[in-house]
């Protein structure tokens, strides 16, 4: 919600569009976490990965700026600790190719092993 309606984000989208495409997006939300925060991240990973938790919002920003449809999406994830279920990952990245020639890259990871 905030990435579509907060005045500072609305302005960011408008200013970015003035630059003209195609665009190259590089975003990351790696979070080194320990203690209580790592516990919260592990709880979140019972149902979702770091890529899905926040990535959908930043992909939405890319869509708002380009006003173009994705034509190809690539991604990968890796489980960096046995504290996470075998079917889950705590680090991942994705690449998106848009019909206007723009490209997007998003990286996200949670845990004490993630660099600051």
Give the pLDDT confidence of 15-54 residue by residue, as tens digits: 999 999 999 999 999 999 999 999 999 999 999 999 999 8
**Level-2 CATH architecture, domain 21-111:** 2-Layer Sandwich (3.30)
Position 116 scores a pLDDT of 74
Range with lowest mean pLDDT among 35-44, 53-62, 72-81, 93-102: 53-62
Q: What is the pTM of this model?
A: 0.87
Q: For the chain, give every domain's residue range.
A: 21-111
List b or e across 52-74, with b for residues whose CB sees 16 or more CB atoms inside 10 angstroms. ebbbeebbebbbbbbebeeeeee
Closest CA to 97 of 3, 28, 29, 21: 21
Angle at 109 between CA 86 and CA 113, to 5 degrees: 80
């Amino acid at each position: 919600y905030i990435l579509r309606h907060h005045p500072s984000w609305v302005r960011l989208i408008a200013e970015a569009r003035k630059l003209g495409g195609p665009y190259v997006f590089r975003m990351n939300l790696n979070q080194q976490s320990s203690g209580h925060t790592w516990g919260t991240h592990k709880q979140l990973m019972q149902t979702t990965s770091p890529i899905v938790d926040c990535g959908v919002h930043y992909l939405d920003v890319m869509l708002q700026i380009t006003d173009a449809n994705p034509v190809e999406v690539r991604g990968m994830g890796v489980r960096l600790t046995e504290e996470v279920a075998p079917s889950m990952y705590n680090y991942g990245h994705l690449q998106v190719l848009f019909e206007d020639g723009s490209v997007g890259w998003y990286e996200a990871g949670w845990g004490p092993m993630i660099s600051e």
